[in-house]
Structure 1
Amino acid sequence: MTTPHPVGPVRTVAGTVAADAVEPATAAEVAEVLRSTTGTVVPVGAGTKTGWAAPPTSCDLLLRTTGLDRIVEHAPGDLVVVAEAGVPLARLQQRLAEHGQMLALDPPEAGATLGGIVSANASGPRRLRYGTARDLLIGVTVVLADGTVARSGGKVVKNVAGYDLGKLYTGAHGALGVLVSTTWRLHPLPPVTGAVTVPVPDAARAGRYAALLARSTLTPTAVELNWIDGTGELTALFESSAASVRAQTRAAIALLGAGRAAEAPPSWFGVRPAGALVLRLAYEPFALPRVLEALPDGATGTASACTGVGYFAVPADSDLAALRAAIAPYDGSAVVLAADDAARAVLDHWGPVGDAFGLMTRVKDRFDPERRLSPGRLLGGL
Structure 2
Amino acid sequence: MSIKTSTMAHARNRQLQNTLNDLIRQARENEKKQELYETLGFEIIGAGSPKALLDLLLTETIVRCQLDEAVLCLIDRHRDIKRLFFNHNDEIRVLYENRLVILDCVKDTRFADSLTHTPLLGAGPLKNFHWMASGFKTSNPFKSAAYLPLLRDNSIIGALFLLSHDSNRFPKDAGTLFLKKLSIMAAVAVENCLNQQRVKEISYQDVLTQVYNRRYFDLRFKDEIERSLRLQDDLVCMFLDIDFFKKINDTYGHQAGDRTLIHIANLIKDHLRACDIVARYGGEEFVAALPATTLQQALEIAERLRETVQSTAHDFETESFHVTISIGMTHFKSLDSLQHQGRPDSEQIATLMLDYADKALYQAKSDGRNQVVVYDPDIVIS
Sort the TM-score into its range (normalised by shorter chain). under 0.3
Structure exhibiting the larger radius of gyration computed from Cα positions: 2
- TM-score with structure 2 length normalisation? 0.23
Tell which has more relative contact order, 1 or 2 (C-alpha 8 A, sep 6+). 1
Higher relative helix content:
2
- TM-score with structure 1 length normalisation? 0.23
